[in-house]
Structure 1
Amino acid sequence: MTWTADHIPDQHGRTAVVTGANSGLGLVTATALARRGARVVLAVRDTAAGRRAARHIGGDVEVRELDLASLASVREFAAALSADRPVLDLLVNNAGTVLLGPRRTSVDGHELHLATNLLGHFALTGLLLGNLAAARAARVVSLSSITHRNAHLDFADLMVERGYRGSTAYGRSKLATTVFGIELDRRLRATGSPVLSVLAHPGVTRTNLTPRAWSHQGRRGRVIARLGLLATQPVEQGALPQLRAATDPQVHGGQFFGPARFFQTRGPVTEVRASREATDPAVGRRLWTAAEELTGVRCL
């Protein structure tokens, strides 16, 4: 069976938070959930863009400000959401950044890829676990990337301060995100929690991250970005793995979904495997400890 958005079951009565939901994969994901009846919170850094997205989506949608590169913003978002929405059915940790220019840091002093792609989502998940546990069948979906397979976590240099390359930092952050999703599953199972941790990656998909990644190169970067877009699949196809992870009733904790063809770059959704490092329990424990120390959030 080829899984499509038509297989998404009725979502009425469910509340979902989708980070980075004003464009790309997040917008497609939020739209699909809302059109199946979910109440969807668009957690976005740019609230004006979020409001435009909400008008496009329609349905029961609200916009809330969230800057994942700021732990203060994450805490403020989680506190306000918990006050209004004590029960949360779905958290899609979709937002991400890829920057191939000079090294940049967050307001908290963390390397920007790691701050946005891992640490912000780690803190957000930890702060909302009580809301998720209050639901009957809640899920956390973590967004990985095929680049995690060629990455390696250097715990002596998590912030990539030595020999910085944007592509290396991005790959490491996505490996860290994958490790987090798998370790979260282990810990949820160990505590008997009903919450599921599931992973997905979009293959090589046409989003606005590609032009942004090459923006530091000026005209040359714009040409490279356009050429790169020719090799990508539509965003509607790229969002299917995370939509399946979020909604398929047959999914269980720890599963990982991605495209089936051309070395997982495109095609129909299938279950895929994470790299050996991503599934190593020792790596999971070590990253978990580091993330708790860096964010100040205890997540299980």
Structure 2
Amino acid sequence: MSWSSADIPDQRGRVAVVTGANSGLGLETARQLAARGAHIVLAARNQHTARAAVASIESEVPGASLEIISVDLGVQTSVREAARRITAGHPRLDLLINNAGVMAGSEARTVDGYERQLGVDHLGHWTLTGLLLPNLLGAADPRVVTVTSMARHLGQELDKANPHLTGRYDPWRAYGQAKLANFHFALGLHRLFGSTGVRAASLVAHPGAARTNLTTATVQDSGTALTARLLDHATGTLGQSAKAGALPQLRAATDPAARSGELYAPLLVGRGRPVSRPILRRIHTDRAIDTLWEVSERETGVRIDESTLLTSGDSR
């Protein structure tokens, strides 16, 4: 059965946090949720584009309930401050959509010393999710949706001794590792929710080959004309718009039939209507999740485990 933004249920009374809501997939996600009545927390680093995003949404959705929270996912202190502000303002959160990210590009480190893509795409979201969980678990039907990518197939599970690829950096390997971390994070959170019996869902989504500001910037920063042509062809010819690319994460976030642990993606991989796709569980998936948890807790100091869930308010 076809699914579109018209199928999003009434979201009035619900609070949704969307990272990277100032552009691309995040903006389209925020726009559609606002149109269904949700209060949207636009969590974004660039405040100028965040204000432009608010204006864009308000022009299409008069009376939209919106607020901006400044966050730089590449700076752990910024993530912690954003989480503090969000939890102070919203004792109950219904949706967290871990959407923001950076793609490929030259080697760089965050201020905390993380490889930039792992730091922004995964570790920033790890900390944000961990700190928002108490408020999420107070909702009736809380969901965490983490956005991955087809590029996860280029990645390998984290190396405990060298998660930041020191001396072994390749932009696409690093991006693949970060997006595989997103994938394993969603599955690990689902596993944890199940083992503790909390009423919460963790789902994962990917947009296919969506043409967004992120892919455009990657084309411009790819370094070679061949890579630029290949990326441009993949997103322009084989892919789809940001509006269509946002549908998998919107379905994961709102479809009453969606279940924790599911992956939502375009029907034709790169493009098409959003559908639940099978997750091919390899024998080492649980080991990779365990490694991700160990590295993430070590790097950030934020624990996400049974003890933290079971002490997070009335979550059962």
1:207 correspondence with 2:212: yes
**1:230 aligned residue (232, 236, 243):** 236
Q: Return the offset for 1:121.
A: 0.4
Q: Which residue matches 1:6?
A: 6
What aligned pairs does 1:176-191 form with structure 2 within 5 A after superposition?
176-191=181-196
TM-score by length of 2: 0.90
Relative to 1, partners in 2 of residues 1:92 and 1:278: Cα closer, same or farther, differing over 3 Å? farther
Q: Return the offset for 1:154.
A: 4.1
Relative to 1, partners in 2 of residues 1:145 and 1:278: Cα closer, same or farther, differing over 3 Å? farther
**2:80 aligned residue (75, 87, 98):** 75
Give the stretch that moved more between structures: 33-42 or 140-149.
Answer: 140-149
Q: Which residue matches 2:32?
A: 32
**2:254 aligned residue (247, 253, 257):** 247
Q: Secondary structure at the match of 2:21?
A: coil
What aligned pairs does 1:133-282 form with structure 2 within 5 A after superposition?
133-155=137-159, 156-216=161-221, 220=225, 226-231=232-237, 232-261=239-268, 264-277=269-282, 280-282=285-287
Whole-Å separation in 2 of the counterparts to 1:178 and 1:199: 7
Q: Which residue matches 2:309?
A: none
Whole-Å separation in 1 of the counterparts to 2:235 and 2:149: 17
Q: Return the offset for 1:86.
A: 1.0
TM-score by length of 1: 0.94
Structure 1: where are the runs of 5+ without partners? Answer: none
Q: Is the 8 A contact 1:278 1:284 kept in 2?
A: no
Measured against aligned partners, the alpha-carbon deviations of 1:103-151 in whole angstroms (never above 9, x if no partner) come to 1011100000000110000110000000001111010000011111232
Whole-Å separation in 2 of the counterparts to 1:203 and 1:181: 18
Q: Secondary structure at the match of 1:22?
A: coil
Measured against aligned partners, the alpha-carbon deviations of 1:152-171 in whole angstroms (never above 9, x if no partner) come to 12413211123311011000
Q: Percent identity?
A: 41
Whole-Å separation in 1 of the counterparts to 2:38 and 2:14: 5
Q: Which residue matches 1:15?
A: 15
Relative to 1, partners in 2 of residues 1:11 and 1:154: Cα closer, same or farther, differing over 3 Å? closer
Amino acid at match of 2:129: T
The total of aligned residue pairs comes to 297
Q: Secondary structure at the match of 2:184?
A: helix
Q: Which residue matches 2:135?
A: 131
Relative to 1, partners in 2 of residues 1:184 and 1:217: Cα closer, same or farther, differing over 3 Å? closer
Q: Secondary structure at the match of 2:48?
A: helix
CA RMSD of aligned residues (A): 1.8
Structure 2: where are the runs of 5+ without partners? Answer: 59-63, 306-316
